[in-house]
Amino acid sequence: MSIVVTGATGHLGRHVIEQLLEKVPAGQVTAVVRTPEKAADLAERGVKLAVADYNTPETFDGLFAAGDKVLLISGNEFDKGRVGQHQIVIDAAKSAGVALLAYTSAPGSLTAALADDHRGTEKALLESGLPYALLRNGWYHENYTENLAPALEHSAVTHAAGAGRISSASRADYAAAAVAVLTGEGHENQTYELGGDVAWSFAEYAAELSGQTGREIAENPVSGEVLTGILAGAGLPEPLAAILAGVDASIEKGELVIDSGDLSRLAGRPTTPLTEAISAALKD
């Protein structure tokens, strides 16, 4: 029996592998990667590597074994049909008879276009008949703290979310929840709505940035159209820019406020405060 993690060298996957290694022997962990060189350090520590690509179905043939617990980390290739990519993993897992397939989805409350692929994948997973766990991850602190440069350069936090609030948490928090599900019992056919303990607004975010930098960082609310133009002007493909602006529209409606408590309960600790994430990002 192995715990198998797809997308293992991605931002979230790395956190999951590191936290798994604190709980189970390395030989029980399989990291699914596209580029084995990126996971050489994991192999040196005893983690098994499997080379597979969501775009090449045959690479998943025989990858899973009966009794495996699998974490399907959603792909990030928005233009390549993510539901179809995920279906390949689901089909391979079903053929093998895995014990559990956990999937990193999006909050059930999220209606933005970003959630469409997640809803499609959830449908495919439920129709497969596999024992599943839906990890409906909310927004990540890092979506903001890893992109502080524009806010600091222009002394403004630009958004299209109005006074909406966000229950974000760190990647490490979401990874802890995934590890709890992969290493624990009784998570079959469960859905977890995951978000940070404390929701915040962009006005509060700008104020926190101001306080920590000692500079006046203004809040700059704009329309969704204007934000799409700004993001596209910064180099994002226009369809992706529109998707991200759509998330801000959902934030304004309160769709990314997650108050289930599932994340801190699974992690076994409070979620990481946004203030800590900002502080760590400013030190880097």
User: Residues 134-177: pLDDT tens digits?
Assistant: 999 999 999 999 989 999 999 999 999 999 999 999 999 999 99
Sequence-separated (6 or more) residues with CB below 8 Å from residue 269: 176
Beta-strand runs (E) in 18-80: 29-33, 48-51, 69-72
The C-alpha atoms of residue 157 and residue 159 are separated, in whole angstroms, by 7
pLDDT at 80 > cutoff 80 = no
Q: Looking at residue 182, what is its pLDDT?
A: 98
pLDDT confidence bin for 79, thresholds 50/70/90: low
Q: Is the pLDDT of residue 76 over 80?
A: no
Residue with tokens 């909310």: 138
Spatial separation of the C-alpha atoms in residues 247 and 140, rounded to whole Å: 13
Q: Look over the chain and give the mean of its residue pLDDT values, rounded to a whole number.
A: 95
| pLDDT, tens digit (0-9, with 9 covering 90-100), for 87-132 | 999 999 999 999 999 999 999 999 999 999 999 999 999 999 999 9
Tokens representing residue 233 in the block: 């002007």
